Structure 1
Amino acid sequence: MEVLRPVLINIKGRIYRKNPVQEECYEEEEDDYPSSGAAAEQCLDEPCDAYNIEQTDRGFRCAIDVPSVLYKYIIGKKGETRKRLESETKTSISIPKQGVEGQIVITGAHRAAVASAVTRVEVLIDSFRRKQPFTHFLSFALNHPQVQQGFLRFREQVLELCGQDAGVDESIFQNPAKLHLTIGTLALLNEQEVTRASELLQQCRDAIRDITEAKPLPVEVRGIEYMNDDPSMVDVLYAKVTVRDGSDKLQQIADRLVEYFAAAGLMERERERVKIHGTVMNTLFRKDPSAEDKGASARPNAKDREAFNAKNILQVRNVIKVTVKTFIMLQKFSISNKCCSSELSIHL
């Protein structure tokens, strides 16, 4: 089935078919870089006009922006990956020193050869970018005082009524100051990409204004739900957030944001529609309260997480139901960047 329905890769609006290739794993050495092994070696040649290829006195040249953290995957262990790409495409690939942000420059005697090399490098970059832990997340902050107060009451009541249930303790509750609706996660690998994401977020203002008709959007945080099939073995419990008038405007905004960021190559579209939710309990916090801020690199394997029993929490709905109203307003649109694992937050 992998041959009939291969993985499709979207790179800057161009769709590639990734043929199944055996990946090789290498341990990193101090002065060496691992070979990719899984580069799209059989990807189709790219039409020459798909790239900004310049003609020079010595042939043709194309420069592409690549975060320095990904250089090692183009170089490969002992330079094997770069040598293979250069040999197969009859081009020369110049890569800045590790840690120095810049451009990878590909030169060759023929335009088609340079285009082919660029295609392979970009597919290779995309493959390993997907494996990087996310560094930022796009979210709506739920930091209205009423929301925080409602959450604190919810936490107090759950601990009082269900504190004896398996896995339920104070450590797995969200920090009230960090309550938010996650729209999507991003792996922004250098300052240029952070700036690009910030600019794109600002450009989304018009799209959001069109949906809300430039008016405040009252929303309700009401009720809770869990994310798996067994309420007695839950890892994440979240608050349900809806627009007070029953419209799907919040869903439209979330989907539009993901559409913009996915089209720019800054975010992976995981599903057709964004799941609107505000996490209130998460077993990731049990061992590390800042795990969510640190991204995927800090996340334990499923077997290392201790689930909790949410049956009683779900049954006493009249006690733990959170009924708080907040407003998403366009008048206060800004971006906040916090700590080393920053948060791109939309404050509307």
Structure 2
Amino acid sequence: MLSAEKHSHSLQVDASLIHFIKGKVGSAQKRIEEEMAVKIVFPSSKNEESIVIEGISTDCVTRASEKIQAIIDEAIKTNLDYSHFVSLPLGIYPELVDKLVDFQNSILGINYVSVDANVESDYNEETSDIKNKGQELIEGDDVAVELKAEDDNHVKVDSTSIPFVSYPPKPPRLPNASDFGIDKTIFIKPATFHLTVLMLKLWNKERVNAASDVLKSISSKVIDALDNRPVSIRLKGLDTMRGSLSRARVLYAPVEEIGSEDRLLRACQVIIDAFVEAGLVLEKDAKHKLKLHATVMNARNRKGKRQSKNDSFDARGVFKQFGSEDWGEYVIPEAHLSQRFVYDENGYYHCCASIPFPGKEACKM
């Protein structure tokens, strides 16, 4: 006979993972409870980050814990979105923010540059021609119509003297940004402009604290990699990260280190290696080669319509207008452990931890 004594185990689980354990309409939770003779108790408030597994034996609780952990691991690999990232802030520079605002306003304006440069000129010529034809109709010869009364109830009109008038077609509509899959939501907010060093999935406070500690612990190593000198970058032009220009998903400004010493890349690699060694980076992410980039448009950020993995926009017109844009030169002030979707008072991503770069005091903060 099984003992009536209850056994329990507490498992730390972030709120973002709870629905994976419950499953659709509670199906996953019910299956685990029935198969392993346990009861899963979920947090009663958002401030709690642990679930409790109760069972009539240690073995039942252990097997249920292992099953739940397997569900969590799979969810983290395949379903859970990135929650944090290591960033190099650039939105601190007012002149750069102004350029980004002008960039967005120009593209979203009613006179958006079409892929075909002849569209606007054709439009002007055609509307001008239509206007002239309309003027001719208005200023043409007077038309005389002869009315003949045959009797008290009928009037005969001599239509042979009435000319046939054909009205000009309506002018074509000048294309705008929405015709190319572009709307305000796919632009990066200027105040959050940054370079991305490393994407992270930190699903509970324990991992966030661990990541913060890792970043702070390597401050001196990062400064050494920079030779204890300020590092500046130049942003110029545009390029696409995924897909062609006609079906772009991410459009970014390429980054060039001033001086071509690769000090910034070495410093970033120090950061990446430290997070990998601490076990805070997923295996697939650890294999990615670092590509410093400053994203300006991302189709994944689109709101107001159903998302799809293949969502894209036509960037050919944007590239024609801004493909050679000189965004300027800037000193990198520091590295942040940033939290996605959460913002501080300055409009930048919430900073969980940061380390200064040489020359930070000279930057416009």
TM-score (norm 2): 0.56
| Number of aligned residue pairs | 276
- Render the CA deviation track for 1:79-119: whole Å, top value 9, x for unaligned: 6534544666x674543335451433457798777655433
Say if 2:68 is the partner of 1:68.
Answer: no
Percentage of pairs with the same residue: 24
Higher relative contact order (CA 8 A, sep 6+): 2
Q: CA deviation at 1:276?
A: 1.0
Tell me which amino acid in the other structure corresponds to 1:322: W
Gaps of 5+ in 1: 1-57, 289-297
8 A Cα contact 2:86 2:337, kept in partner:
no
Determine which structure has more spread, i.e. the larger CA radius of gyration: 2
Q: CA deviation at 1:194?
A: 4.5
Select which of 327, 330, 333 maps to 1:328.
333
Superposed CA RMSD = 4.6
Q: Name the CA distance, whole Å, in 2 between partners of 1:153 and 1:73.
A: 43
Gaps of 5+ in 2: 116-176, 357-365
Say if 2:121 is the partner of 1:121.
Answer: no
8 A Cα contact 2:85 2:337, kept in partner:
no
Q: Secondary structure at the residue paired with 1:227?
A: strand
Q: CA deviation at 1:127?
A: 1.9
Q: Secondary structure at the residue paired with 2:66?
A: helix
8 A Cα contact 1:235 1:308, kept in partner:
no
Q: CA deviation at 1:277?
A: 0.5
Tell me which amino acid in the other structure corresponds to 2:50: Q
2:120 aligned partner: none
Say if 2:113 is the partner of 1:164.
Answer: yes
- Render the CA deviation track for 1:278-313: whole Å, top value 9, x for unaligned: 01234567767xxxxxxxxx8832565432215853
Tell me which amino acid in the other structure corresponds to 1:203: S
The farther-off stretch of 274-283 and 203-212 is: 203-212
5 Å-filtered alignment, 1:99-110, equals: 99=45, 101-106=48-53
Q: Name the CA distance, whole Å, in 2 between partners of 1:97 and 1:316.
A: 51
Select which of 90, 97, 122 maps to 2:43.
97
Select which of 237, 241, 247 maps to 2:251.
237
Say if 2:89 is the partner of 1:141.
Answer: yes
Q: CA deviation at 1:121?
A: 1.9
Cα 1:215/1:303, change in 2 over 3 Å: closer
Q: Name the CA distance, whole Å, in 2 between partners of 1:277 and 1:83.
A: 45
8 A Cα contact 1:224 1:314, kept in partner:
no
The farther-off stretch of 119-128 and 167-176 is: 167-176
Q: Name the CA distance, whole Å, in 1 between partners of 2:247 and 2:24.
A: 43
Tell me which amino acid in the other structure corresponds to 1:165: S
1:277 aligned partner: 293
1:307 aligned partner: 314
Cα 1:92/1:159, change in 2 over 3 Å: closer
Say if 2:349 is the partner of 1:343.
Answer: yes
- Render the CA deviation track for 1:49-75: whole Å, top value 9, x for unaligned: xxxxxxxxx798653311234334334
Cα 1:176/1:347, change in 2 over 3 Å: farther
5 Å-filtered alignment, 1:258-269, equals: 258-261=272-275, 263-265=278-280, 269=284
8 A Cα contact 1:93 1:106, kept in partner:
yes
Say if 2:147 is the partner of 1:131.
Answer: no
Q: Name the CA distance, whole Å, in 1 between partners of 2:45 and 2:270.
A: 34
2:225 aligned partner: 211
Cα 1:134/1:334, change in 2 over 3 Å: closer
Q: CA deviation at 1:246?
A: 1.7
Cα 1:93/1:69, change in 2 over 3 Å: farther
Cα 1:266/1:164, change in 2 over 3 Å: same
Q: Secondary structure at the residue paired with 2:237?
A: strand
Q: Secondary structure at the residue paired with 1:71?
A: helix
Say if 2:234 is the partner of 1:251.
Answer: no
Q: Secondary structure at the residue paired with 2:245?
A: coil
Tell me which amino acid in the other structure corresponds to 2:18: Y
- Render the CA deviation track for 1:216-265: whole Å, top value 9, x for unaligned: 22222233322235233334321112322323333344344445445444
Tell me which amino acid in the other structure corresponds to 1:71: I
Q: Secondary structure at the residue paired with 2:75?
A: helix
Q: Name the CA distance, whole Å, in 2 between partners of 1:133 and 1:70.
A: 11
Tell me which amino acid in the other structure corresponds to 2:192: K
